C-alpha cells in the first residue's frame, strides 16, 4: 500500500489490516490517540489527558492561546489550556467528526459541546450552550502525541459568548 494513502471512516479497519504490520501498528496507534483525546476530555480526566503527550511534545500551533509562557513546557501549556476549557465548560463533551490516518499521523476534526458555567477565555459564565470545532494533526510515537499542528475556532467561541 502506498504510504500516502489516507485512511478514513469505516474503511480504516480494513485498510489497516491490509498494511504491513509495522505500518498498520503505527496507523492504529495514531487512531487510538485521537479516540483517547476525545474520551479523556469528555470524561474530564485531565491526568489521563496529560498522559497522552510525550515529555518531548512539540506544539506547532501558533496562537495566543497555544503559545506557552516562558519556562512552561508545551505539554504543560496544552494541559493547562484544556484544564481551563473543562473549568469553563464543566459538562464538556468531545466527539470526533472524522479522522484521516497516514502512518504515524492522525488528522481529526473534533466537536466540543458544553455549557458556559465557568470563566472561559476571560468571559464570566453566561449559561450559554456552546458548540465549536477544531482540526488537529497529531504525530504519534510509542502511543504518545509527540507533535501537534492545529487550528481551533476561537473566534466562533467568542462570537457565541457575546451573541
- Taking only the tens place, the pLDDT of each residue in 87-130 is 999 999 999 999 999 989 999 999 999 999 999 988 999 999 99
In the CATH hierarchy, which fold is given to the domain comprising 7-162? Nuclear Transport Factor 2; Chain: A, (3.10.450)
Q: Strand, coil or helix: what is 62?
A: coil
DSSP structure class, residue 121: T
Which 3 state secondary structure label does DSSP give 141? strand
So where are the chain's domains? 7-162
Q: What's phi and psi for 129, nearest 5 deg?
A: -80, 130
Would you give the DSSP letter of residue 19?
S
Question: pLDDT digit string (tens) for 37-91?
Answer: 999 999 999 999 999 999 999 999 876 556 777 889 999 999 999 999 999 999 9
> Cβ(152)–Cβ(109) under 8 Å?
no
pLDDT digits (tens, 9 = 90+) for 64-73: 556 777 889 9
Residue 104 confidence (pLDDT): 92
Q: At what angle do helices 21-42 and 74-88 cross, to 10 degrees?
A: 40
Task: Please report the sign of the dihedral spanned by the C-alpha atoms of residue 159, residue 134, residue 110, residue 86.
Answer: negative
Amino acid at each position: 500500500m502506498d504510504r500516502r494513502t489516507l485512511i478514513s471512516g469505516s474503511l480504516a479497519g480494513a485498510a489497516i489490516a491490509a498494511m504491513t504490520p509495522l505500518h498498520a501498528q503505527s496507523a492504529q496507534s495514531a487512531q487510538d490517540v485521537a479516540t483517547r483525546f476525545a474520551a479523556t476530555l469528555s470524561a474530564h480526566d485531565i491526568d489521563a489527558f496529560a498522559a497522552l503527550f510525550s515529555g518531548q511534545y512539540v506544539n506547532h500551533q501558533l496562537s495566543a492561546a497555544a503559545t506557552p509562557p516562558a519556562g512552561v513546557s508545551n505539554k504543560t501549556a496544552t494541559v493547562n489550556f484544556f484544564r481551563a476549557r473543562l473549568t469553563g465548560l464543566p459538562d464538556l463533551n468531545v466527539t470526533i467528526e472524522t479522522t484521516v490516518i497516514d502512518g504515524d499521523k492522525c488528522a481529526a476534526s473534533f466537536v466540543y459541546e458544553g455549557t458556559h458555567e465557568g470563566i472561559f477565555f476571560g468571559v464570566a459564565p453566561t449559561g450559554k450552550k456552546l458548540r465549536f470545532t477544531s482540526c488537529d494533526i497529531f504525530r504519534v510515537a510509542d502511543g504518545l502525541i509527540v507533535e501537534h499542528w492545529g487550528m481551533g475556532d476561537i473566534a466562533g467561541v467568542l462570537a457565541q459568548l457575546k451573541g
